[in-house]
Amino acid sequence: MTFPTYTVYKDSGVEWLKRVPKHWEVKRLGHYFDERREKASDTVFAPLSVTKSGVVPRLETAAKTQDGDNRKKVRAGDFVINSRSDRKGSAGLSSTDGTVSLICIVLEPKGVEGSFVHHLLRSVPFQEEFYRYGKGIVADLWSTGYSEMKNIVLTLPPSDEQKHIATFLDHETARIDALVEEQQRLIALLKEKRQAVISHAVTKGLDPEVPMKYSGVEWLGEVPEHWEVVRVKHAAKLESGHTPNKEKAEYWDGSIPWVSLNDSKKLAQYDYIDETNFTISDLGIANSSARLLPSRSVVFTRDATIGLAAITTKEMAVSQHLIAWLCHDEVVIPEYLLLVFYAMKEELDRYTFGATIKTIGMPDIRSLSMPLPSISEQKEVIGYVFAERDRLDDLVAEAQKASRLLVERRSALISAAVTGKVDVRGWLPPEKLQAANDAQKGHEVAAV
């Protein structure tokens, strides 16, 4: 959908707005708003959170203070913006009375349409201009006060045009949001399918006609009749990890990759690990219980997030928060064991304990069971699963790209409409457009 531009423009005199429609006002923000500085208690007024989705009832995850009386009052129809640069985009019109954190600026609109203001002051160009006025001693964290904010130059159309633009944006953003939600649902379904492909292939095999038997292991259920079911420790040698003395500088920054919980993101994202956040030296190995593990070991987290796993591409060591499995030749292929751990995720959650940091005990690790087909069948499963994952990952990437483009389109449309770069006055809501089309058809029939 494309829209025309206005016929006549004028120079706004400010960089962030550039040229604006000739009939739009250009005035400082303080002309359109008063700052509300009243204090209020969250025991009298409902506590609110200022988020990138707007002003909402206080989130469960929001930081709470003991001083609930020392908050800013918000009235329905006020615009609220978080003054801190690390919360860029957290702003919106409040639909209810309440209280917000003192780091927020509360604005009471004067003679402007709140629905238009909601879009204008949440637009990317305005947000960039707002935080440009910020002050602070940290390079990537500063705050903007109302004394600076009130001098920001805005451009506003007449009241009826503000209403029309707001109605247009409400409709179009809702339509785009619905499309984004569709893409997010698709992504979730594709990820579920990805996990299902792994779990089914690893536990049921690739032949749907093969006779099955009960495995004797609850999480496995039935497995192909000709497969074995064994303890993982019988298919691969278990090695525990260790951390060299951190006070000995000579034990660190060596040539040996050392896998720790600091590498959790890599373990969660990739099948193979070749670089680690920390390395240790030969002295570190020699003076600790850490062991130099061969390449193609399967490393596995046993603390924090349980069961993150990957295959090493070179000799490495692991911390005490991980273990490693050294696969026995002609028994299990590392990639197959890796897929078993991927399929075992829910089973691993059942074993975990700990209130702060989740962990799985070594006795439980030694009791873990797995299905074990022949080496040739393992290779078939690996080939099939890796190919299917690649296909599904490509579809996820396409859906994620479509979602990003929709979000970018949404942002660009808002920015263009609230700064007068496009003229949407000719736009009609679908119901009015349909009525107009029906009326036109009626005239044509009457004329015949």
CA dist 31 and 15 (Å) reads 19
Q: Which residues contact 324 (CB under 8 A, 6 or more apart)?
A: 238, 239, 241, 293, 297, 298, 299, 300, 312, 318
Q: Which residues pair with 280 in a beta bridge?
A: 252
- Going by pLDDT thresholds of 50, 70 and 90, the confidence category of residue 130 is very high
Average pLDDT, stretch 192-221? 96
- Going by pLDDT thresholds of 50, 70 and 90, the confidence category of residue 429 is confident
Name the pairing type of β-strands 212-214 and 153-156.
unpaired
The pTM is what? 0.84
- Going by pLDDT thresholds of 50, 70 and 90, the confidence category of residue 354 is low
- pLDDT tens for each residue of 159-180: 999 999 999 999 999 999 999 9
- Going by pLDDT thresholds of 50, 70 and 90, the confidence category of residue 153 is very high
Domains recognised in the chain with CATH numbers? 25-156 (3.90.220.20), 206-372 (3.90.220.20)
Answer whether 55's CB lies under 8 Å from 94's CB: yes
Average pLDDT, stretch 355-375? 89
Please give the mean pLDDT across all residues of the chain: 92
**Which conformational region is residue 18 in: left (phi greater than 0), alpha (psi within -120 to 50 degrees), or beta?**
left
Nearest to 153 by CA among 328, 273, 30: 30
Give the lowest-confidence range in 10-14, 44-48, 152-156, 203-207. Answer: 44-48
CA dist 308 and 148 (Å) reads 48
Average pLDDT, stretch 270-276? 97
pLDDT of residue 42: 84
- pLDDT tens for each residue of 83-119: 998 899 999 999 999 999 999 999 999 999 999 999 9
Element (H, E) at 399: helix 375-418
Q: How many residues does the chain have?
A: 448
CA dist 142 and 424 (Å) reads 36
Give DSSP secondary structure letters for 240-303: E-----TT-GGGEEEEEEEE-GGGHHHHHH-SEE---SEEE-HHHHHTSS---BPTT-EEEE-B
Q: Which sign does the torsion angle of CA 99, 101, 107, 113 carry?
A: negative
Answer whether 11's CB lies under 8 Å from 43's CB: no
User: Is a pLDDT exceeding 80 seen at residue 353?
Assistant: no
Average pLDDT, stretch 350-359? 72
Coil/strand/helix, residue 234: helix
The more confidently predicted of residues 73 and 304 is 73
